[in-house]
Chain A
Amino acid sequence: MKLAYWMYAGPAHIGTLRVASSFKNVHAIMHAPLGDDYFNVMRSMLERERDFTPVTASIVDRHVLARGSQEKVVDNITRKDKEERPDLIVLTPTCTSSILQEDLQNFVDRASITSKSDVILADVNHYRVNELQAADRTLEQVVRYYLEKARRQGTLDQSITKEPSANIIGIFTLGFHNQHDCRELKRLLQELNIKINKVIPEGGSVKDLQDLPKAWFNLVPYREVGLMTAIYLEKTFGMPYISITPMGIVDTAECIRQIQKNVNNLISNKKVNYEPYIDQQTRFVSQAAWFSRSIDCQNLTGKKAVVFGDATHAASITRILAREMGIRVICTGTYCKHDAEWFKEQVQGFCDEVLITDDHTQVGDMIARIEPSAIFGTQMERHIGKRLDIPCGVISSPVHIQNFPLGYRPFLGYEGTNQIADLVYNSFTLGMEDHLLEIFGGHDTKEVITKSLSTDTDLTWNSESQLELNKIPGFVRGKIKRNTEKFARQNAITNITVEIMYAAKEALSA
């Protein structure tokens, strides 16, 4: 057992559901007790999703515990098949169902016979993999299922497109700025005259998965999700893949050079040369290179920072801070323990120490020990920063609603470099501003604003009402105090008791 109240990566089924609900017309059915469907709440709330989340539960209750699910799961699958006519239904085990050890594969087989939809069982072990690993696994499973199906049916067309084209793999729901990143990647590829063949899973249709091999290469922007699929496609169809995350100026250029290599491998006549494009973008389109030279950024030189997040974002941001802005990264870390080796290799030479942990208290202690000028981390680090009075820029999942901005905020590509520069700069200057204010005595906002008729204290609060007032949370206490006093004056009451407080609340039309 482990004592914990916060985790960076969720349980495995969340990863599966994220992949399943990113596809168009795919429905996931969880084998789970009541209340385990809070994934729907997350998606509806955080992503402000307009459509009903295509996830339902086949409820595990007392009866199921006693007699097994029997017909229940099969009935739920066939019912959903009739109601929604999805292309694919993914039966998703949860930690509860994995202990029950029911033969879910058997349910899937039985349900496939009667449903028009394809039905598969997500193959994840709850006690060995986390949300990200499960998502990676599920995506590969779905792709494999459809490619093998196409091969069996003889509909698999392995010829590549005439023009250079790419698949983008790993954009999905509840991913950190995924939607914006996807748009930016599409734009980047378009400017290089590369067609987008497919984007999966977000908005993709499982019927189109058989067209994946038509692309010249695969682009996997995030390490956490999509690599398994890319490796499978390479093994089976010889498709090359690029897994350099185009985050920051240097890495974006590196990624484009990789694309160039892959395109030129398949072109016989006119070889492409993207160097002029890289140069133009770096020096004039992206503002980040200029920002690094500007006076502003000079002030950031040698400032201490700490980075923590998923492997992709933490590694990339570390390199940007150290290599592109001259900021000293004292410690960088990731909660993707399964990817520790890769991570260490990536950040080698860009930071003083590396922390691999999924225990937020260790991260908090590390930050307290180092006392950096700014933190770049997840929502958890943001709150650690609040407690220690250190500004924090959020660069990675776990996410909050404010990480789903309506405005365009990619982290990848050339526009991404601008966004990151803003984020870094604002984190540091805010810290600086605070610091200066402290030195010069703070903002002068001590004046009390009252809406009352007069502010002379002709009112006394007795000890009980004083106590009651102190029970009220700080942020509304002032308002309640003012309203009560206003009410008391209107009724010519001088002694404020608890009852007067209640009466004031009742009488108030606000």
Chain B
Amino acid sequence: MSNKISETLTFECETGNYHTFCPISCVAWLYQKIEDSFFLVVGTKTCGYFLQNALGVMIFAEPRYAMAELEEGDISAQLNDYEELKRLCLQIKKDRNPSVIIWIGTCTTEIIKMDLEGMAPKLENELGIPIVVARANGLDYAFTQGEDTVLAAMAHRCPEQNLLIDKKKVVQDSNIQNLFSFLSFEKKEEISNEQLEKLKKNPPLVLFGSLPSTVASQLSSELKRQSIQVSGWLPAQRYTDLPLLGDHVYVCGVNPFLSRTATTLMRRRKCKLIGAPFPIGPDGTRAWIEKICSVFGIKTEGLEKREEQIWENLKDYLDLVRGKSVFFMGDNLLEISLARFLIRCGMIVYEIGIPYLDKRYQAAELLLLQTTCKKMSIPIPRIVEKPDNYNQIQRMRELQPDLAITGMAHANPLEARGINTKWSVEFTFAQIHGFTNARDILELVTRPLRRNNNLENLGWNDLTKKEKKNKI
């Protein structure tokens, strides 16, 4: 399969001199997702300053994360790191009493070879609080891969699925009733036992990837419409609610940057991975659901109509983007899925920059990208791993795309040179998954286009002084 892809998809690799966020930034959204957690980033002033600046206003809301700021004594091993960490974790226990403390290892702990994994179990016994270690450092990872390291570490902590199938009473679930009443927009129908049975039938399915709880329940309810019950999420809203895992549990990812988590679930927890495109955009969502259904041998119902309906709702935005060109500089690993969706919207993608591409984990997504390009009859964009921002800017000067999706370091300078930009980090924080949120993606993508349509006639597109050498 992957061979077949590489015949037509071309992957390039550049120097890796690109701008992205440090993976420790994942604490920003994970501490909010896992409500009873505390994140301790073991690093230096550099890490702390980054979080402080990247998280902006959140920092003032007494967040459940902190820096264990290493000082000279820690680096030169004059201080005992076990004792130091114990002191800080006791303090955290006293002040916040979390259900889990997650240690985030950084570049510094890697270099001085601080044995976080070795210390955690000892300290866990002493404190009576689980301590999970994730090494989300900039030596190995980029931005969203931070979440990947945390979830992979958490996968080890999920309880084992007991093979004893407990005889649960079939409860007349009001949710299910509501669900069917919604489908017919009228009075409640009687639910046949057959349908109820169907809902209970599929083997346990655990979805992995941290999403805002609303988005998670939206995706769960999309599956419920196809009579598929989601048995759990990694991560859950609380650490104490981690899902059961085991050798007959099926798992499926909702985000393209979770390849380590996928590997851990398969190899260490013996789960069965469903490789599907990611539920980003209506096309992606439909393909994702179809794939899960096909694994469980379920025929989908009304999915095609559902997708059409969503496209119908997007019409005003599609008119704006059709025929416009996009350039992804690449910094958060969502690029393939987003590019695929935008191509389906009628846009032309010149280049997909991406920090790292796991061709096996993203195989289904890459295939969908290919078929989408065929369907829309446009050439397959070049995919550039570990891009070089300087070269990309030269290429942009040639191509003059209608939109550059880029990090904040380049957004303002590109705008000053008359190139519309959308800040890529917003895609990480906005709700972009499922049918319901397709509109939000286009809201983001079209915002610069709409804004600049308003300014078009003022004739101030190039706002740089001419003597500059690095002009675009």
Contact B46 A42 (CB under 8 A): no
Which A residues are in CB contact (< 8 Å) with B63? 5
Of A33, A36, A499, the contact of B179 (CB 8 Å cutoff): A499
Q: Is there an interface contact between B50 and A35, defined as CB atoms closer than 8 Å?
A: yes
- A284 contacts the other chain (Cβ, under 8 Å)? no
A3 & B68 in contact (Cβ 8 Å cutoff):
yes
Given A1-B74, A1-B88, A38-B22, A49-B412 contact (CB < 8 Å): yes
Q: Does B436 interact with chain A (Cβ within 8 Å)? A: yes
| Contact A13 B46, CB 8 Å, known A3-B88, A33-B138, A51-B464 | yes
Q: Quick check: is B457 within 8 A (CB to CB) of the other chain? A: no
A 478-510 binary contact with B (CB < 8 Å = 1; else 0): 000000000000010101011110110111110
Question: How many angstroms from the CA of A7 to the CA of B408 in the assembled complex?
Answer: 22
Whether the Cβ atoms of B416 and A51 lie closer than 8 Å is yes
Roughly how many angstroms separate A70 CA and B109 CA in the complex, as a whole number? 22
A464 part of interface (Cβ distance < 8 Å) = yes
Contact of A368 with B by CB under 8 A: no
A502-B436 in contact given A41-B408, A52-B470, A96-B108 (Cβ < 8 Å): yes
Chain B residue, CB-CB nearest to A42? B53
Q: Are B69 and A4 in contact (CB under 8 A)?
A: yes
Interface residues of A in 74-124 (CB under 8 A from B): 76, 83-85, 94-96, 99-100
Residues of B near A35 (CB, < 8 A) are 20-24, 50, 138, 142-143
Instruction: Select the residue from A38, A50, A508 with max chain B CB neighbours within 10 A.
Output: A38
- Are the C-beta atoms of B72 and A5 separated by less than 8 Å? no
Q: How far is the CA of A293 from the CA of B140 in the complex (A)?
A: 63
User: Among the listed A3, A11, A383, A472, which residue makes an inter-chain contact with B46, where contact means beta carbons less than 8 Å apart?
Assistant: A11
Closest chain B residue to A128, Cβ basis: B72
A468 touches B214 (CB 8 A): yes
Q: Which of A57-65, A250-258, A442-450 contacts B (4 or more CB under 8 A)?
A: A57-65
A506 and B435 in contact (CB under 8 A), knowing A5-B51, A61-B139?
yes
Asked whether B111 is an interface residue with its Cβ less than 8 Å from the other chain, the reply is: yes
- By beta carbon, the residue of chain A nearest B76 is A127
State A84–B470 Cα separation when bound (angstroms).
Answer: 7
B-contact 0/1 string along A384-427, CB 8 Å cutoff: 00100000000000000000000000000000000000000000
Pair A95/B19 contact, Cβ less than 8 Å: no
Q: Enumerate chain B residues within 8 angstroms of A498, measured Cβ to Cβ.
A: 178, 217, 221
Question: Which residues from B are CB-within-8-Å of A460?
Answer: none
Whether the Cβ atoms of A4 and B217 lie closer than 8 Å is: no
Bound Cα distance from A423 to B270, whole angstroms: 63
A44 and B411 contact, Cβ closer than 8 Å, known pairs A11-B44, A50-B464, A468-B217: yes
Contact of A44 among B92, B140, B409, B439 (CB under 8 A): B409
On whether the beta carbons of A37 and B409 are closer than 8 Å, the reply is yes
> Residue of A at shortest CB range from B81?
A1
Could you say which residues of chain A place their CB within 8 Å of the CB of B141? 34
When distances are taken between beta carbons in the complex, the residues of chain B under 8 Å from A509 are 313, 316
Q: With the chains together, A33 CA to B16 CA distance in Å?
A: 11
Tier of interface size on chain B: 35 or more
**Cα(A34)–Cα(B144), bound, Å:** 13
Is A289 part of the binding interface, using a Cβ–Cβ cutoff of 8 Å? no
The answer to whether A56 has its CB under 8 Å from any CB of chain B is yes
How many angstroms from the CA of A76 to the CA of B75 in the assembled complex? 28
Bound together, the chains give a CA A99 to CA B109 distance in angstroms of: 11
- In chain A, what residue has the closest Cβ to B87? A1
Bitwise, B23-52 to A at CB < 8 A (1) or not (0) is: 110000000000000000010111011111
- Which of B19, B21, B49, B437 is close to A14, meaning CB atoms less than 8 Å apart? B49
Question: How distant is B39 from chain A, measured CB to nearest CB, in Å?
Answer: 10
B413 within 8 A of partner (CB): yes
**Contact between chains at A45 and B408 (CB < 8 Å):** yes
- For residues 50 through 69 of chain B, which have their beta carbon under 8 Å from a beta carbon of chain A? 50-54, 59-60, 63, 65-69
* Residues on the B chain within 8 Å of A4, using CB: 48, 66-67, 69
Q: Does A238 contact B (CB under 8 A)?
A: no
Residue contact A7 to B70, C-beta cutoff 8 Å: no
Could you say which residues of chain A place their CB within 8 Å of the CB of B111? Answer: 65, 96, 99-100
A373 within 8 A of B: no
The CA of A45 and the CA of B423, in the complex, are separated in Å by: 11
Q: Which residue of A lies closest to B16 (CB)?
A: A59
B178 near A11: Cβ-Cβ < 8 Å: no
Cβ–Cβ contact A6 & B45, under 8 A: no
Q: Which residues from A are CB-within-8-Å of B119?
A: none
Chain A residues 1-37 with CB under 8 Å of chain B are 1-7, 10-11, 13-14, 32-37
Query: Is B110 in contact with A1, judged by CB distance below 8 angstroms?
Result: no
CA distance A491 to B20 in the complex (A): 46
Residues on the B chain within 8 Å of A94, using CB: 46
Q: Which residues of A contact B436 (CB under 8 A)?
A: 502, 505-506
Hey, which chain A residues are within 8 Å of B20, CB to CB?
34-35
B53 and A65 contacting across the interface, CB-CB below 8 Å: no
Among residues of B, the one whose C-beta sits closest to the C-beta of A94 is: B46
Q: How far is the CA of A45 from the CA of B410 in the complex (A)?
A: 10
Considering only CB atoms, which chain A residue lies closest to B74 in the complex?
Answer: A1
Residues of B within 8 A of A183 (CB): none
- Determine whether A348 belongs to the interface, using a CB cutoff of 8 Å to chain B: no
Q: Check A464–B175 contact: CB distance below 8 A.
A: yes
B466 within 8 A of A: no
Partner of A497, one of B48, B68, B182: B182
**CB of B213 within 8 Å of the partner chain:** yes
Instruction: Compute how far the CA of A100 lies from the CA of B181 in the bound complex, rounded to whole angstroms.
Output: 64
A33 to B111, CA, bound (A): 11
B24, B81, B182, B185: residue with the most chain A Cβ atoms closer than 10 Å: B182
Does B468 make an interface contact (CB < 8 A)? yes
Q: In the complex, A186→B234 CA distance in Å? A: 60
Contact between B213 and A7, CB atoms less than 8 A apart: no
Scoring B residues 132 to 169 as 1 if CB is less than 8 Å from chain A, else 0, what string do you get?
00000111111100000000000000000000000000
Q: Is the pair B53, A38 in contact by a Cβ cutoff of 8 Å? A: yes
Check B79–A127 contact: CB distance below 8 A: no
Contact (Cβ within 8 A) B45 A472:
no
Q: Is the CB of B59 within 8 A of A127?
A: no
Q: Is the CB–CB distance between A502 and B108 below 8 Å?
A: no
Q: Which residue of B lies closest to A10 (CB)?
A: B49
Q: Which residues of B contact A491 (CB under 8 A)?
A: 185
Chain A, range 288-322, C-beta contacts under 8 Å to B: none
Q: A99 touching B112 by the CB < 8 A rule? A: yes
A11 contacts B390, C-beta separation under 8 Å: no
Q: Is the CB of B53 within 8 A of A96?
A: no
For residue B146, which residue of chain A has the nearest CB?
A35
Minimum CB–CB distance for A506 against chain B, Å: 5
Q: For the complex, is B71 an interface residue (Cβ under 8 Å from A)?
A: yes
Chain B residues with CB under 8 A of A386? 60
Task: Give Cα distance in the complex from A274 to B69, angstroms.
Answer: 51
Whether B463 sits at the interface, judged by CB under 8 Å, is yes
Does the CB pair A3–B74 fall under 8 Å? no
A268 to chain B, nearest CB (A): 42
Report chain B residues within 8 Å CB of A493. 185
Contact partners of B470 in chain A: CB under 8 A:
51-52, 84
**B412 engages A7 (CB within 8 Å):** no
CA separation between A7 and B316, bound complex, in Å? 46
- In the assembled complex, the Cα of A509 lies from the Cα of B108 at a distance in Å of 48
B85 interface hit (Cβ, 8 Å): yes
Q: Mark B81-96, 1 if CB is under 8 A from A, else 0.
A: 1001101100110000
Query: Which residues from A are CB-within-8-Å of B81?
Result: 1
For the complex, give the distance between the alpha carbons of A150 and B415 in Å: 40
Chain A nearest CB: distance from B33 CB in Å? Answer: 12
Question: 11 A–B contact pairs at CB < 8 A?
Answer: A2-B71, A5-B59, A32-B138, A33-B138, A34-B22, A41-B53, A45-B408, A51-B464, A95-B45, A96-B46, A499-B179
| 3 tightest Cβ-Cβ pairs between the two chains A and B | A35-B22, A33-B138, A40-B409
Beyond A95-B44, A95-B46, 5 additional contacts (C-beta under 8 Å) are: A462-B178, A497-B182, A498-B221, A499-B179, A508-B439
Which A residues have a C-beta under 8 Å from some C-beta of B? 1-7, 10-11, 13-14, 32-38, 40-42, 44-45, 48-53, 56-57, 59-62, 65, 76, 83-85, 94-96, 99-100, 126-128, 130, 380, 383, 386, 462, 464, 468, 471-472, 491, 493, 495, 497-500, 502-503, 505-509
